[in-house]
Structure 1
Amino acid sequence: MAASELDFRKAKFVISAPDIEHLDQHLGDSQGIEIAFAGRSNAGKSSALNALTEQKGLARTSKTPGRTQLINVFEINEACRLVDLPGYGFAQVPLVMKKKWQQALGEYLQKRESLAGVVVLMDCRHPLKDLDMQMIEWAVHSELPVLALLTKADKLAQSARMKTVNQVRKKLADFGDSVQVEPFSSLKGLGKPKVLNILNTWYQERVEFVDEGAEDTE
């Protein structure tokens, strides 16, 4: 499977799962390749997924942040999936529910063997909050590539947008090539081609890694 062959417009909903155990039962724990979308409840994850796949209703959006309570999986083809994780920094939800979501999020990130990369979405006007940094640091420590996606970029003028992008890149420079930073607008399509290229590359790199491993065991 060449990276250029992926058509994100073919993405379709597969399953909503409350935890990694349910994912393993339906999808297997190490089969396929997954790229996870993570971010604060108001970061615009669902809107970004809909924009990237050109499907307005693929991922459900809500006017009330924090409504994504489950791990939602979308299949591009039989091998490649996009995963919408529960938002963190939840707004106005009971503590018991908040802890349950956090546990599901943590287990997925720590134990899901098919995970090939993490897109950390942040409102470009309020980037790099504590939980965002924790997510990025965890992914890098786990040797996963990270795309720090600065959403709602259309809310800033071009000069202010590029200033923010450069500031975030500077703050994350210590992570080297492990973290890429890009502006994005679901509404205007800003940054979409570059994001799709990055995701394609991640899928292809994992495919090549798996193929090499299979050859080594022969």
Structure 2
Amino acid sequence: MEHQAGFSLQIHSAEFVTSAVAPEGYPPGDHPEVAFAGRSNVGKSSLINCLLGRKKLVRTSRTPGRTQTLNFFLINESFYFVDLPGYGYAKVPQKIREQWGPMIERYLTTRRRLSGVVHIMDLRHPPTTDDLLLWNWLREMGIPAVPVLTKADKVSRGNRARHLRDASQRLGIEPREAVVFSAVTREGWQALWERLMPWIGYSS
């Protein structure tokens, strides 16, 4: 990872550990965990790879809905990133979609070491019904979450404020609470890390 002025966290190691569909498959230990959630085609894998300065740690796919398990990545041997299955992709078989909901809910509500959720949405479009359902559920459950509006490089500077304002209004937050992010230009990279550092036990 590149060093940035005023930013102390360096990524020395990042490795895939395991996939799981139930608690008995979760990795043991007391490392804090940050989960990443979003629609199947929202750029979740690209965001995680960008955060970690890796190109292919998390597989990106042209076929939305391919991730069907909880994927655990151990970072710096001190905290986990957990890639959750994407939601909202109609072509995924109904039976699989019905399994995802309980699998994700069980993890989010029972995992003691879960520090928070990075909820990824597309800046180009208003939050979807599925986005709003998850966001409001996280708030109702008292699970810390940071909204990240990605693919910012695809929105012109002149339209940024309008898109951000619309998304914020729908989510019921102030625009400053959201992180505008681009895995292409790395915009929002440091802002997001600064939100995550307290969750993983680092100080800026």
TM-score by length of 2: 0.87
Question: 1:1-218 residue pairs with structure 2 within 5 A?
Answer: 6-8=9-11, 10-23=13-26, 26-28=27-29, 31-173=30-172, 180-204=177-201
Q: Root-mean-square deviation (CA), in Å?
A: 2.2
Cα distance in 1 for partners of 2:133, 2:93 equals 23
Cα distance in 2 for partners of 1:39, 1:20 equals 21
Letter of the 1:27 counterpart: P
User: CA deviation digits over 1:49-98, x for unaligned, max 9?
Assistant: 01111101110000011101110111113331111000111241222122
Cα distance in 1 for partners of 2:92, 2:28 equals 29
Cα distance in 2 for partners of 1:57, 1:46 equals 9
Letter of the 1:154 counterpart: D
Contact 1:16 1:71 in 2 (8 A): yes
Give the structure 1 partner of residue 4 of structure 2. Answer: none
Cα distance in 2 for partners of 1:88, 1:188 equals 25
Question: Deviation above 4 Å: which 4+ runs of structure 1?
Answer: none
Contact 2:132 2:171 in 1 (8 A): no
Give the structure 2 partner of residue 211 of structure 1. Answer: none
User: CA deviation digits over 1:87-135, x for unaligned, max 9?
Assistant: 1112412221222222211211121111111111111122321221121
Cα distance in 1 for partners of 2:34, 2:74 equals 11
Q: Which runs of 5+ in 2 are unaligned?
A: 1-6
- Normalized per residue, which structure has more helix? 1
Cα distance in 1 for partners of 2:73, 2:105 equals 20
Letter of the 1:11 counterpart: A
Identity of aligned residues (%): 39
Q: Once structures 1 and 2 are overlaid, which stretch shifts more, 49-58 or 121-130?
A: 121-130
User: CA deviation digits over 1:32-52, x for unaligned, max 9?
Assistant: 211100001011110100111
Letter of the 1:136 counterpart: W
Cα distance in 2 for partners of 1:117, 1:58 equals 21
Cα distance in 2 for partners of 1:67, 1:128 equals 22
* Cα separation, partners in 2 of 1:8 and 1:144, compared to 1, 3 Å: farther
Cα distance in 2 for partners of 1:92, 1:172 equals 26
Cα distance in 1 for partners of 2:90, 2:171 equals 27
Q: Post-superposition shift, 1:151? A: 0.9
Contact 1:41 1:91 in 2 (8 A): no
Tell me the number of residue pairs that the alignment of Structure 1 and Structure 2 aligns: 197
* Cα separation, partners in 2 of 1:76 and 1:91, compared to 1, 3 Å: same
TM-score by length of 1: 0.82
Q: Which runs of 5+ in 1 are unaligned?
A: 208-218
